[in-house]
Amino acid sequence: MILKILLAGDGGQGIQTIAEIICRAAFQKNWHVSYIPNYGLEQRGGVSLSFIQISDKVIGYSKFTTPDILLIMSEQARARVKNYESGIMNYDVKDYAQKLEEQKIGKSSYNIFFLGLLVKYLEEKNVLKKEEVYELLEKKLGKKLNWEENKSIFQTCTL
């Protein structure tokens, strides 16, 4: 089994934060995991990509062009990944506009919303455990200001 996940967003949207959490949770489940971040030259505001692979075999190369799961979190990111075709799942922020508004999710928490969706899928596929992701998330963001809000977003999305 090999699962290739490409996360794409704007710098500052917290793409690498959720990538790191997904990878660590998969690592804890003893998978082979490979993760490489990619951004432009800009220190701020460029496109931020995470190339993640989770496999039962040693992973030979960290980049890929055919992700199984693709997450797009911004306009700029959509343009950047237009040549990457997703095989199984496609999460695009534009398809979730209504849902995000209904649930009153602030821009700074979009990453947690999508983390929830990804984790829900990955748990169904027995890749990782929601509880373990939650622990990692709490460790990372538990002391931040909007933790209660993020916590509830994550829990709602993974239900």
Closer Cβ to other proteins, 33 or 137, answer by number = 33
Beta bridge partners of 91: 71
Nearest distance from residue 157's CB to other proteins, in Å? 24
Binding site for other proteins (CB under 8 A): 20, 23-24, 27-28, 30, 32-38, 41, 58-65
Closer Cβ to other proteins, 25 or 73, answer by number = 25
Closer Cβ to other proteins, 32 or 151, answer by number = 32
| DSSP-derived 3-state class of residue 32 | strand
* Strand 47-55 versus strand 32-39 pairing type: antiparallel
Nearest distance from residue 133's CB to other proteins, in Å? 15
Nearest distance from residue 27's CB to other proteins, in Å? 4
Reference 103, options 147, 66, 68, 155; nearest CA is 155
Nearest distance from residue 98's CB to other proteins, in Å? 35
Q: How far apart are CA 74 and CA 56, in angstroms?
A: 31
Is 57:72 a contact under the CB 8 Å cutoff? no
